[in-house]
Structure 1
Amino acid sequence: WKNIKYRQDMPPPGGYGAVPYKRNLPVRGLGGFALFGLGIGLSAIGVKMLWERKVLEEFTNQESHQAELVYYPLLQAEKDRTELRLHKEKIESEALNIVGTGFDPTYEPGMGNVYHTPVYEPPLMESLSPFWQSIRLWYQ
């Protein structure tokens, strides 16, 4: 080994001295407890806002329901008028088509009582639009 002309660099005996450095980093942002408190505070504010919105929505729904209850007699009266108009048209159609054509001269228009009772009863099935069905189902 003595014939080798190069020599590997080695540290000096006793090693190198300490490298002078200092960690001088500034503190950035909030600490852990501050962030935790901020999260709890924001969550509490969010829950309060949701609660207030729920109360307002319940009040609005109740007010809307009361308004619909106010209009229900008017809608019921319109439904009754429409049923009477349709019933009158049916009787006139029976008179024109059955009696007027001579198909059954003894037939009395409007006397076809399917409920077998002298008291008037509204039809069991809604013969009107689905709107009236939804109104009837809503207020039952």
Structure 2
Amino acid sequence: MEGTKQSSKTIRISSDGLYRGATVHTPFPLENSDFLKLTKVNSLLPIWAHTFFTGTSVFSITVLAKWINHKYLDGIETVSSTEIITLTILVALALAFEGLYLMLPSEKKVKISKIAKHFKENTPKAAGFGNE
């Protein structure tokens, strides 16, 4: 990947000092520590939450397919009570882990909400189109 290129090309700037046809926005200053908060996995809770949610979804589809096959397509296999109990436990665990993940604070969520707030308050404007 190449670095920044300097250009000696002339850029026309209007009398009010704005680039015409360029997008102007306020950048978000991201420190190295903030970058690490956003990219480092500092907790296994989100991993467990998403893993249980995904696993429960796949198992639910399997049980649903088995039930549809028996009910509507005259399949011989029925959904067993063990599968129902397993599905109930998986749903409870998935809801518990996802709930904990959503409720508990984390540095990553705080930083992401600050970034979202910054860009919501400082929406980019297209210079030269009447909204400078």
Rg bigger for which structure?
1
Q: TM-score range by the shorter chain?
A: under 0.3
User: Normalization by structure 1: what TM-score?
Assistant: 0.25
